[in-house]
Amino acid sequence: MDLIVTATSQGLLWGTMALGIFITYRILNLPDMTAEGSFPLGAAVTTQLIINGMDPFLATAVSFVSGMLAGAITGILITKGKVPGLLAGILTMTGLYSINLRIMNRANLSLLGESRVTDIFRSFELPSQFDSIFLGLIIVTVVILLLALFFKTELGQAVIATGDNEKMARAMGITTNRTKILGLMLSNGIIAMSGGLVAQDNGYADISMGIGVIVIGLAAVIIGEVVFGNLSFVNRLICVILGAIIYRLIILLVILLGLNPNDLKLISAILLAICLALPSLRNALQLNFFTRKERMD
Amino acid sequence: MAVSVLSLQRISKTFQRGTANENPVLRDLSLEVNNGDFITIIGGNGSGKSTLLNSIAGNVLVDSGRIKINEDDVTKIKEERRAGRVGRVFQDPLMGTAPRMTVGENLAIALRRGQKRTFKLGTNTKEQAHFKSLLEPLNLGLENRLNTEMGLLSGGQRQSITLLMATMKRPELLLLDEHTAALDPKTAETVLRLTQQLVEKDHLSTLMITHNMQDALTYGNRMIMMNRGKIVVDVSGEEKSRLTVPDVMSLFQKATAGDQLSNEMLFS
Ligand SMILES: Nc1ncnc2c1ncn2[C@@H]1O[C@H](COP(=O)(O)OP(=O)(O)OP(=O)(O)O)[C@@H](O)[C@H]1O
Ligand SMILES: [Mg+2]
């Protein structure tokens, strides 16, 4: 039971991050490495602002904006600089490492004794971890609702079309440079905000907390898809969150089985590799568990 | 004298300019398209037909010359900003639609071709009902599949929808690049007939590339033939309607006398 509570609370916060990854990887069709820099950026910004006396909610909101700026830089590199997508993300991520160090002034910044967003639940006297779960649920619900709304607008549909068929999008008069930048900003804004929330949950920001963020995010996206199949847009978003929780469960189980926590990243990578290879494995084995279904909204 | 919807004034385009592979594809090409013209374009492989349409649509920018659409100089204007004036259908049925978006979502994108995208809702039930009425006459059973992902449809269905998408918001010019070449003969004919209907209904000024000489004669009021980046034959009206396929072949031979390579290409 404890296991499920822990997996859920962490899965919700990290799942928010995975929603950002979903936007670049699945909607824009553009695997974006910026995430590994924008996640700790959000953590650094939030932590430093809280330490300097800012309200934790406002600080978290500022981290969203900081992530949007990071995404804009990658977007401008890709569209105006014609830098290949992966490389552009790596450039921004590398640059952000120094910026994050400057923001934090050191490699690790503690929030000990500072106020956090989970403080609003203090008066409810919840059992441990339930404050993070409630916070996570609220954040995830709000983010999914806002994303669902945004992607139903003309602009959101234009972003989806850009990722789905760029040539068609341009022929329809969509300024794909702008929609790409917009999508990257949105994605990294969410990822940075999630970084800020995770920092508050952990009680500190760490310069290296971005390492492996992409793999974790992709694992959530892919697990969600493998387990739940082809769905409508909002359900796909929900599945990302469920995927993140399942991923956490698997990781916790692995630790319980007595594996060395130092091997976690390796295990994550192998897990994701298996999930990514699953479709072709399935084809190779001629198994058709999941045939593409018609979408019903 | 009718009004020109499209005026190409001595346009030229060279790919890989300044390299050993320098490839002049359009050479000083001029063309006036009258309002309501339905022009079929034929010519050998590599003669510059697609590049001509790409230059008009703006995803290729010409090196010299001027391009005017309804008197507006668009020579230097980017593709996205010409999109409001130009409807396009490509050879590859996968090219014109977004596979993971539904039929309804694709059509809604097309309804806003060339418009600024805002935070307004991307579509609504009234629009979807309108789409349904547009799909019904196609007789492809698509009117009940507005919520189906585009990627699940056949090439012919996708190409028919692409055609609707290119024309539902009336374009000043409709550009078709071998848009039936990838379809089986029967589907190709259906799509061609749909093309004809849509063009006639809205009096669309149209340029249609085809490798099928009979189609080039059957459809349209005017036919041009390209060779090595130039227009070598331009026939219209009465004169065109009297032509037969053998006539076209000898026209081409005359126009490219001694140009062995092009002949082989056209008749291959
Ligand atoms: N974007 C591009 N970059 C470089 N070269 C190009 C480009 N587009 C076309 N070309 C070259 O221009 C020449 C003419 O190509 P184009 O596609 O216009 O011919 P086409 O008449 O449409 O031929 P086909 O009948 O085979 O479609 C070809 O040699 C082609 O390789
Ligand atoms: Mg061509």
Q: How many CB pairs lie under 8 A apart between chains A and B?
A: 96
Element of type H or E holding B25: strand B23-34
Average pLDDT, chain B: 92
End-to-end C-alpha distance for chain B, whole angstroms: 39
Is-contact A5 A133, C-beta < 8 A?
yes
pLDDT at residue B1 above 60?
no
Burial bucket for residue B201 (CB in 10 Å: 0-12, 13-18, 19+): exposed
Residue B7, helix vs strand vs coil: strand
pLDDT at residue B259 above 80?
no
Q: What is the pLDDT of residues B182-228, one digit of tens each?
A: 999 999 999 999 999 999 999 999 999 999 999 999 999 999 999 99
Cα-to-chain-centroid distance, residue B252: 22
- pLDDT for the residue A260: 83
Ligand lying nearest the CA atom of residue B226: 1
Amino acid letter, B216 = A
Radius of gyration in angstroms for the set of CA atoms belonging to chain A, rounded to a whole number: 19
Q: What are phi and psi of B64, to 5 degrees?
A: -150, 170
Nearest CA among B221, B130, B45, B199 for reference residue B191: B199
User: Nearest-5° angle of CA A93, CA A99, CA A54?
Assistant: 120
Burial bucket for residue B16 (CB in 10 Å: 0-12, 13-18, 19+): exposed
CA distances from B104 to A16, B68, B109, B131, B210 (A): 29, 33, 9, 7, 29
Distance (angstroms) between ligand 1 centre and the Cα of A165 equals 21
Q: Can you spell out the DSSP letters for B92-126?
A: STTTSS-TTSBHHHHHHHHHTTTSPP-SSBS--HH
Q: What are phi and psi of A5, to 5 degrees?
A: -60, -45
Q: Which residues of chain A fall below pLDDT 50? A: 288-297
Q: Using the 8-state DSSP alphabet, how is residue B145 labeled?
A: -
Q: What are phi and psi of A30, to 5 degrees?
A: -145, 90
**Chain A CB contacts of B94 below 8 Å:** 165
- pLDDT for the residue B193: 94
Largest alpha-carbon pair distance within chain B?
61
Ligand 1 pocket: which of B41, B47, B51, B262 to mutate (most atoms within 8 A of CB):
B51
Is-contact B115 A158, C-beta < 8 A?
no
Distance from C-alpha of B157 to C-alpha of B178, rounded to nearest angstrom: 16
- pLDDT for the residue A279: 73
Largest alpha-carbon pair distance within chain A?
60
Q: What are phi and psi of B118, to 5 degrees?
A: -125, -170
Distance from C-alpha of A208 to C-alpha of A260, rounded to nearest angstrom: 19
CA distances from A266 to A7, A72, A270, A272 (A): 19, 31, 6, 10
Distance from C-alpha of A83 to C-alpha of A31, rounded to nearest angstrom: 14
Domain spans of chain B, in order of start: 1-78+205-268
Residue B214, helix vs strand vs coil: helix
Q: What is the pLDDT of residues B99-155, one digit of tens each?
A: 999 999 999 999 999 999 999 999 999 999 999 999 998 888 999 999 999 999 999
Distance from C-alpha of A72 to C-alpha of A186, rounded to nearest angstrom: 9
CATH ID of B1-78+205-268, from 3.30.110.40, 3.30.565.10, 3.40.50.300, 3.40.640.10: 3.40.50.300
Strands (E), A95-162: 108-110
Is-contact B175 B86, C-beta < 8 A?
yes
**Chain A CB contacts of B57 below 8 Å:** 171
Please tell me if the CB atom of residue B50 comes closer than 6 angstroms to any atom of ligand 1: yes
- pLDDT for the residue B267: 52
Computed from CA positions of residues B166, B170, B175, B181, in that sequence, does the dihedral angle turn out positive or negative?
positive
Selecting from A176, A179, A295 the residue whose C-beta is nearest the C-beta of B148 gives: A295
Under the banding of pLDDT at 50, 70 and 90, the label for residue B243 is very high
ipTM of the complex: 0.90
Burial bucket for residue B127 (CB in 10 Å: 0-12, 13-18, 19+): middle
Q: What is the pLDDT of residues B83-96, one digit of tens each?
A: 999 999 999 999 99
Distance from C-alpha of B148 to C-alpha of B153, rounded to nearest angstrom: 8
Distance (angstroms) between ligand 2 centre and the Cα of A59 equals 55
Name the token pair of B173.
Answer: 């010019």
Instruction: Report the percent of chain B where pLDDT is more than 70.
Output: 95
What are residue B223's DSSP bridge partners?
A: B40, B235
Domains and CATH numbers, chain A: 2-296 (1.10.3470)
**Residues 6+ positions from A101 with CB-CB distance below 8 Å:** A107, A207
**Chain B CB contacts of A169 below 8 Å:** 98, 109
Instruction: Count other Cβ atoms within 10 Å, centred on residue A209.
Output: 21
Q: Using the 8-state DSSP alphabet, how is residue A122 labeled?
A: G
Hey, are the CB atoms on B118 and A155 less than 8 Å from each other? yes
The residue nearest atom 17 of ligand 1, judged by CA position, is B50
Q: What are phi and psi of B205, to 5 degrees?
A: -80, 125
pLDDT at residue B260 above 70?
no
Burial bucket for residue A13 (CB in 10 Å: 0-12, 13-18, 19+): buried
- pLDDT for the residue A123: 75
**Residues 6+ positions from B236 with CB-CB distance below 8 Å:** B37, B221, B222, B223
Task: Using CA coordinates, name the residue in chain A closest to B99.
Answer: A164
Task: Using CA coordinates, name the residue in chain A closest to B153.
Answer: A294
Distance from C-alpha of A224 to C-alpha of A230, rounded to nearest angstrom: 10
Hey, are the CB atoms on A158 and B117 less than 8 Å from each other? yes
- pLDDT for the residue A296: 40
Ligand lying nearest the CA atom of residue B44: 1
Is-contact A13 A136, C-beta < 8 A?
yes
Please tell me if the CB atom of residue B23 comes closer than 6 angstroms to any atom of ligand 1: yes
Parallel, antiparallel or unpaired: strands B222-227 and B38-43: parallel
